[in-house]
Chains A and B, each alone.
Chain A
Amino acid sequence: MSLTDALDVRAGEPAHLVLRRASVLDPVAGIDSVYDVVVRDGQIATLAGPGEADTDGAEVVEAEGLHAFPAFFDPHVHLRTPGHEHKEDVETGTRAAAAGGYCGILAMANTEPPVSTAADVTALREQAQAGASVPVGFLATVTKGMRGEKLTEMVELREAGAVGFSDDGLPIVDAGVMRRALQYQRLCGGNIALHEEDPALSREGAMHEGPVSAALGIAGIPSVSESTMVARDAALAGYEGARIHVQHLSAAESVEVVRAAKAAGVQISAEASPHHLCLTDEEVRGLDPHCSKMNPPLREERDRQALIEGLRDGTVECIATDHAPHQPEEKDVPFEQAAMGVTGLETAFAALHTELVLSGTIDLALLVERLAGGAAPFDLERPTLAPGSEANVALCDLGAEWTVGEDGYESRSANSWCAGKTLTGRVLMTVAAGQVAYRLRSFSLGVAA
């Protein structure tokens, strides 16, 4: 399904634009050249030769030296609505997404109350239709109230428009309940996204278990608390012929399990977050919870390298931010007491471009491919720049340096793991679902006379 059919967005003016002389890169569609990108009535009308497009009254953006990518898709965002609108809501969260070059996001269901009924889904969809800058899909919880005991009315939730299911924030501890959900998926459809953690192993842990936690005296969350649950659920999905999506992979052992499950034919997909791809538990040594406290925790260099290798070989098909807004009073406390989670929508591309592409670790095409890889696991069309498709474009200046947080955030919360860092590469403009969703304020557009 196309993003606009399956997801909800505020209706607006269809874009009518020419991105003149943009370096266009859509690795999946095999596009990698300089074109005039013509967007008409919200569609990619043509990719014309550089300087050759008929502007025809369209707004012209002088994009020479800039890059046009298929806009990104984030399957893992916390919009905190309902219940924690002081941290984020549909409007601010989707503005943050647009500023990060995203043309679609999926919102997690661990709100207060959790999204467990058709009425909850309907109410959120109405909010998105009224105020979402980019298309949003809503997941519903797998179990009622995320208590891990009884399944939600998954058929009715799907009929109300739930894109899939997740108890994200909490694992489904009971293997029997997990198995029932996988069986029931044959009836209701929809992927099941899983937060994999065995609480008997993670206990009161607040960071990765290893030499750094030993040095800091902070209880550790061992890698095996994640990898054993991934292995359990991969085995259950294989047995039931069901489909699962593993969220925020963090440990090398988990990557190995997913790789083996894929090789064995299990329908399993996986995501990794920008912070797990860029940072390790060495960050925690500073004991500053603003940038280094999240669940799953930042792990060791070998884990980070395993995630990168997973991106390369496709074991990890997508990058998901796990954008988790929190207010300062939840972070201005000692590390162990601080809330888990960091924001990431506005910085994902720039951070990964700076840390992984400019360092030569991965190439730009792979990054662009993985940043949009989160749509397919949820049966959504991958954003593309192929002529004839809905316009979903991220226009980026790969040379722009900026300091994160200097000009504030679109998000209502400021707990960015990149706060204060200088990054290279910036999203200047985002077209989502055929509408201009974002323009960087200082980015002046040349309009044809």
Chain B
Amino acid sequence: MKHLLSIEQLSRAEIEAILDRAESFAEVGRRDIKKVPTLRGRTVVSLFYESSTRTSSSFDLAAKRLSADLVSVKAAGSSVDKGESLKDTVATLSAYDPAAIVIRHPYAGAAQMVSGWTSAAVVNAGDGKHEHPSQALLDVYTLRRRLGSLEGARIWIVGDVLHSRVARSNLIAFGRMGAEVTVCGPPTLIPRGIEELGCEVSYSLDGIGEADVVYALRMQKERMSESFVPSLREYAANFQIDTRRLNPRQLLMHPGPVNRGVELSGEAIDSPQSLITEQVAAGLVVRMAILYELLAGSEGQTPAGEGEAGKPTPIGTPA
């Protein structure tokens, strides 16, 4: 694996390898000195074209815990504001010879394009409404710790599936790990043809009792002005996950940030069955594992050099 561009590209074995690696980093997090020297002397660039708290901070911290030098670039306040193209920005940052570029971008396929323009390993930290693979990996990691295995687990993903990269990556990842996935939301927010990704579709919460895991998505306020739903009130009345709809054996997840009182009730967020803070904690170790797998995972093999764009290159020790 040279890049992490999507969950779609990963086999179950590759997903499990990253999660196993993350388990080993969980131990590091319990030490007094939470740092390992693995990436000493190597540079990680984090390039964010969209606002982010969780993803950017946890990738930054993951790079630091692996002893990498970190360059963090936010589009606001950078030369991106001056009209520099993505291609030119990547060329500029690549001149620092980074080992990895972690990129979030508002459009689908951005990370993949970047992988053709740099010799660094590219990590997709969210591309438009397409994929958010590190989120899916941390969610699978969180569930695996709770359930042991996702095999046969029934998972409902509820809310604005249409605009959610988390929904897309997670339904692929959950499915690949053996879970049965149902997506649920108002018909205006369920993309036409989504069932071909291997999930069931439900337009109401009536059947939610069958779920082992309920994964709620963030409901963005601007969807109201675009008439996807008539009002937040009506949305909440039909799709909010609260303690009344949730039974005690079900686990609750959310990628954050949560709109309290919209997609989730306050009690549900704070209930013991909520895994939301575990997800955040998992984010750090899983992102350490991603950087490790890409940059140090198969040491001793052919050094990654000027790999041809698009062709997977064995991972090794970049210069």
Whether A associates with B in a native complex is yes
Tell me, rounded to whole Å, the shortest Cβ–Cβ distance linking B175 to chain A: 12
B318 within 8 A of A: no
| Complex Cα spacing A73 to B135, Å | 53
Asked if residues B107 and A334 are in contact (CB atoms below 8 Å), the reply is yes
Asked if residues A336 and B107 are in contact (CB atoms below 8 Å), the reply is yes
Which of A33-41, A97-105, A210-218 contacts the other chain? A210-218
Q: Which residues in A have their C-beta under 8 angstroms from that of B193?
A: 209-215
Tell me, rounded to whole Å, the shortest Cβ–Cβ distance linking A293 to chain B: 11
Contact with B along A324-335 (1 / 0, CB 8 A): 000001001111
Asked if residues A215 and B168 are in contact (CB atoms below 8 Å), the reply is yes
| Complex Cα spacing A335 to B196, Å | 22
Which of B124-132, B277-285, B288-296 contacts the other chain? B124-132
> Which of the residues B108, B164, B196 comes within 8 Å of A287, measured between beta carbons?
B108
Q: Which residue of B lies closest to A207 (CB)?
A: B108
Tell me, rounded to whole Å, the shortest Cβ–Cβ distance linking A225 to chain B: 13
- Sampled A-B contacts (15; CB under 8 Å): A210-B192, A211-B193, A214-B193, A214-B194, A215-B8, A215-B193, A216-B108, A216-B109, A222-B192, A287-B108, A287-B113, A333-B113, A334-B86, A334-B105, A334-B113
Tell me, rounded to whole Å, the shortest Cβ–Cβ distance linking A335 to chain B: 5
Q: A210-B192, A213-B193, A333-B86 are in contact. Are A287 and B131 (CB under 8 A)?
A: no
Which A170-224 residues have a C-beta within 8 angstroms of B?
Answer: 209-220, 222
B87 within 8 A of A: yes
Q: Which residue of A lies closest to B109 (CB)?
A: A287
> Which of the residues A210, A219, A334 comes within 8 Å of B109, measured between beta carbons?
A334
B52 within 8 A of A: no
Q: Which residue of A lies closest to B164 (CB)?
A: A217
Interface core residue of A217, A220, A336 (most chain B CB under 10 Å):
A217
* B residues apposed to A, CB below 8 Å: 8, 85-87, 105, 107-110, 112-113, 127-131, 164-165, 168, 191-194, 196-197
Asked if residues A218 and B85 are in contact (CB atoms below 8 Å), the reply is no
Q: Which residues in B have their C-beta under 8 angstroms from that of A222?
A: 192
Q: Which residues in B have their C-beta under 8 angstroms from that of A211?
A: 192-194, 196-197
Asked if residues B107 and A215 are in contact (CB atoms below 8 Å), the reply is no
| Complex Cα spacing A337 to B110, Å | 10
Tell me, rounded to whole Å, the shortest Cβ–Cβ distance linking B146 to chain A: 28
Q: Which residues in A have their C-beta under 8 angstroms from that of B194?
A: 211, 214-215
* A residues apposed to B, CB below 8 Å: 209-220, 222, 287-288, 329, 332-337
Q: Which residues in B have their C-beta under 8 angstroms from that of A333?
A: 85-87, 107, 113
Q: Which residues in B have their C-beta under 8 angstroms from that of A220?
A: 191-192
Q: Which residues in B have their C-beta under 8 angstroms from that of A332?
A: 85, 87, 113
Asked if residues A336 and B87 are in contact (CB atoms below 8 Å), the reply is no
Q: Which residues in A have their C-beta under 8 angstroms from that of B85?
A: 329, 332-333
Tell me, rounded to whole Å, the shortest Cβ–Cβ distance linking B220 to chain A: 14
In the A-B complex, the 7 residue pairs with the smallest Cβ-Cβ separation, listed nearest first, are: A287-B109, A217-B129, A211-B193, A334-B107, A214-B191, A211-B196, A217-B130
Given A209-B192, A217-B191, A287-B109, 18 more A-B residue pairs with CB atoms under 8 Å apart are A210-B193, A214-B192, A214-B193, A214-B197, A215-B8, A216-B108, A216-B109, A216-B130, A217-B130, A217-B164, A220-B191, A222-B192, A287-B130, A329-B85, A333-B86, A335-B109, A336-B107, A336-B109
Q: Which residues in B have their C-beta under 8 angstroms from that of A216?
A: 108-109, 130
Q: Which residues in A have their C-beta under 8 angstroms from that of B109?
A: 216, 287-288, 334-336
Q: Which residues in A have their C-beta under 8 angstroms from that of B191?
A: 213-214, 217, 220
Interface contacts (Cβ under 8 Å), in number, total 77
> Which of the residues B87, B130, B164 comes within 8 Å of A218, measured between beta carbons?
B130
Asked if residues A214 and B196 are in contact (CB atoms below 8 Å), the reply is yes
Asked if residues B165 and A217 are in contact (CB atoms below 8 Å), the reply is yes
| Complex Cα spacing A211 to B197, Å | 8
| Complex Cα spacing A259 to B110, Å | 41
| Complex Cα spacing A336 to B127, Å | 11
Asked if residues A335 and B197 are in contact (CB atoms below 8 Å), the reply is no
Q: Which residue of B lies closest to A219 (CB)?
A: B129
Tell me, rounded to whole Å, the shortest Cβ–Cβ distance linking B315 to chain A: 23
Asked if residues B192 and A334 are in contact (CB atoms below 8 Å), the reply is no
Asked if residues B192 and A335 are in contact (CB atoms below 8 Å), the reply is no
Tell me, rounded to whole Å, the shortest Cβ–Cβ distance linking B297 to chain A: 25
| Complex Cα spacing A212 to B191, Å | 10
| Complex Cα spacing A337 to B8, Å | 22
Asked if residues B197 and A334 are in contact (CB atoms below 8 Å), the reply is no
| Complex Cα spacing A212 to B108, Å | 13
> Which of the residues B107, B168, B196 comes within 8 Å of A337, measured between beta carbons?
B107
Q: Which residue of A lies closest to B86 (CB)?
A: A333
Q: Which residues in B have their C-beta under 8 angstroms from that of A215?
A: 8, 168, 193-194, 196-197
Asked if residues B108 and A336 are in contact (CB atoms below 8 Å), the reply is yes
Asked if residues A217 and B192 are in contact (CB atoms below 8 Å), the reply is no
Tell me, rounded to whole Å, the shortest Cβ–Cβ distance linking B309 to chain A: 11
Q: Which residues in A have their C-beta under 8 angstroms from that of B108?
A: 216-218, 287, 334-336
| Complex Cα spacing A135 to B93, Å | 49
| Complex Cα spacing A1 to B107, Å | 49
| Complex Cα spacing A15 to B196, Å | 57
Q: Which residues in B have their C-beta under 8 angstroms from that of A213?
A: 191-193
Tell me, rounded to whole Å, the shortest Cβ–Cβ distance linking B7 to chain A: 11
Q: Which residue of B lies closest to A285 (CB)?
A: B8
Tell me, rounded to whole Å, the shortest Cβ–Cβ distance linking A259 to chain B: 25
| Complex Cα spacing A216 to B7, Å | 12
Q: Which residues in A have their C-beta under 8 angstroms from that of B107?
A: 333-337
| Complex Cα spacing A40 to B74, Å | 68
| Complex Cα spacing A288 to B131, Å | 16
| Complex Cα spacing A257 to B113, Å | 39
Q: Which residue of B lies closest to A220 (CB)?
A: B192
Tell me, rounded to whole Å, the shortest Cβ–Cβ distance linking B114 to chain A: 9
Tell me, rounded to whole Å, the shortest Cβ–Cβ distance linking A55 to chain B: 53
Q: Which residues in B have their C-beta under 8 angstroms from that of A212?
A: 193
Tell me, rounded to whole Å, the shortest Cβ–Cβ distance linking B130 to chain A: 4
| Complex Cα spacing A79 to B107, Å | 30
Q: Which residues in B have their C-beta under 8 angstroms from that of A218?
A: 108, 128-130
Q: A210-B193, A334-B105 are in contact. Are A217 and B131 (CB under 8 A)?
A: yes
Q: Which residues in B have their C-beta under 8 angstroms from that of A337?
A: 107
